């Protein structure tokens, strides 16, 4: 295994989580299809039980708790983010639900950011509340003001920065300072940044979560989640993930690890193309504003610059008010920006957004319609022409 300590992230991406010498010189770790691991003896079986009971989870015991392929992906992402251990799950939402339920019990209070990934909001409102957890949504711009929202039973503060759909930047270190001083666990959805552009654990976060479905896999062909934990958080998250059955499939884990190898070339290209398109959109008369923290005039830019090493290709825009017919005329016939959920793959995508339905702490006051765009790896000029033809159709449909 190559020692990657002190190497740059691009070099680490090539070497992390693989050990050719252990596998006949094969470059990539093999895919282990396994439910069952055979024990050599009663003593060996008891040893794995002790390993698990002691919270080490070093040994392989059963497919649901991971295989060497799972461990390879977990180790790679853990090292990129400076964590202790990670837990791979069936999808990003699974990693989030496992992390939340690992730390929350009936009677506890959760502080969770407004304008977060929609299905997480649903999980809080429809499930956590049924199990007696009190949920408060906080303004993503709250900063140190989070202290005023903390209650005696606040156990978890959950962040996502930039926010889904609206892309406000949260001051992560300001929030983790408050949480640390009060013994509150912090969880952050870091999917937008990927492990390359932000490392939450280096800013005091306890659990950093990725929908590996997005940039880590990078090819829109699998579902997987990963929760990178510090030492205190690992055992609760691991126990909850395996105890709730959130395990990832072997082929998906292998493909995510394969996708990870090229993250270092994909991310800068996503950022460059997103920046080009975002700037172009700012010049268009049909657009009222663009939401992308990598732009110098974005309200979140200062925090992004201070804490992040780069940006992804996902950003938002609000159009000036237009009719349903105009909006559909633009979106229905785009050829390169196809309409679909998810993002982080090699291809460009667009979806209409309705941010007002997903927030309560800070009302959404924009009159126009929202768009979420994912800049893929296509040529940026081709992408701009696709949008330009869309705006022509919008004008003609007036």
Ligand X SMILES: *Cc1c(COP(=O)(O)O)cnc(C)c1O
189 is catalytic: yes
Which span (1-9, 23-31, 211-219, 295-303) binds ligand X, by CB under 6 A? 211-219
Which one, 164 or 326, has the nearer CB to ligand X? 164
Binding track, positions 266-305, relative to ligand X; x by CB under 6 A: ----------------------------------------
Q: Smallest gap, in angstroms, from Cβ of residue 211 to ligand X?
A: 3
Considering the complex, what minimum distance in angstroms separates the CB of residue 267 from ligand X? 15
Kindly state the smallest distance separating residue 300's Cβ from ligand X, in Å. 16
Q: Check binding of 312 to ligand X (CB under 6 A).
A: no
Residue 314 pairs in a beta bridge with 374
Q: Which residue in the set 213, 240, 271, 353 belongs to the binding site for ligand X (CB under 6 A)?
A: 213
Catalytic site residue from 71, 85, 117, 386: 117
Residue 164 in contact with ligand X, rule: CB under 6 A? yes
- Distance between CA atoms of 309 and 304, rounded to whole angstroms? 8
Question: Which x/- pattern, by CB under 6 A, does the window 64-103 give for ligand X?
Answer: ---------------------------xxx----------
Q: Which residue is nearest to ligand X (CB)?
A: 92
**From residue 317 to residue 346, what is the string marking binding to ligand X with x (rule CB under 6 A)?**
-------------------------x----
Nearer to ligand X, 12 or 213 (CB): 213
Is residue 214 among the annotated active site residues?
yes
- Applying CB under 6 A, which residues contact ligand X? 91-93, 117, 164, 189, 191, 211, 213-214, 223, 225, 342
């Amino acid at each position: 295994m190559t020692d990657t300590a002190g190497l740059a992230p691009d070099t680490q991406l090539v070497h992390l989580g693989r050990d050719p010498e252990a596998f006949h010189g094969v470059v990539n770790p093999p895919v282990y299809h396994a439910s069952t691991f055979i024990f050599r003896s009663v003593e060996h079986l008891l040893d794995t039980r002790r390993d698990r009971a002691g919270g080490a989870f070093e040994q392989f015991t059963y497919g649901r708790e991971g295989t060497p392929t799972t461990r390879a992906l977990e180790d790679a992402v853990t090292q990129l983010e400076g964590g202790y251990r990670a837990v791979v799950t069936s999808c990003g939402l699974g990693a989030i639900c496992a992390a939340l339920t690992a730390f929350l019990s009936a009677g506890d209070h959760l502080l969770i950011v407004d304008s977060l990934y929609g299905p997480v909001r649903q999980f809080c409102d429809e499930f956590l509340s049924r199990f007696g957890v009190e949920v408060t949504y906080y303004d993503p711009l709250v900063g140190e003001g989070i202290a005023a929202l903390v209650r005696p039973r606040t156990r978890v503060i959950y962040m996502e920065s930039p926010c889904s759909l609206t892309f406000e930047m949260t001051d992560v270190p300001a929030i983790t300072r408050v949480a640390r001083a009060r013994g509150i666990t912090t969880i952050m959805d870091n999917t937008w940044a990927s492990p390359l552009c932000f490392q939450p654990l280096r800013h005091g976060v306890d659990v950093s979560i990725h929908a590996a479905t997005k940039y880590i896999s990078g090819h829109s062909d699998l579902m997987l989640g990963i929760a990178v934990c510090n030492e205190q958080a690992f055992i609760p998250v691991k126990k909850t993930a395996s105890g709730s059955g959130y395990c990832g499939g072997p082929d998906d884990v292998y493909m995510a690890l394969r996708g990870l190898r090229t993250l270092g070339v994909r991310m800068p290209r996503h950022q460059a193309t997103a920046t080009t398109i975002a700037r172009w959109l700012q010049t268009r008369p049909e657009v009222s504003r663009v939401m992308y923290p990598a732009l110098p005039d974005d309200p979140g830019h200062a925090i992004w610059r201070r804490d992040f090493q780069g940006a992804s290709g996902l950003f938002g825009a609000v159009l000036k008010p237009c009719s349903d017919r105009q909006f559909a005329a633009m979106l229905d016939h785009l050829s390169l920006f196809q309409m679909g959920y998810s993002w982080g793959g090699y291809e460009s995508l667009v979806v209409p957004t309705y941010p007002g339905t997903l927030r309560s702490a800070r009302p959404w006051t924009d009159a126009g319609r929202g768009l979420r765009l994912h800049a893929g790896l296509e040529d940026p000029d081709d992408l701009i022409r696709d949008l330009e033809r869309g705006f022509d159709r919008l004008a003609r449909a007036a």
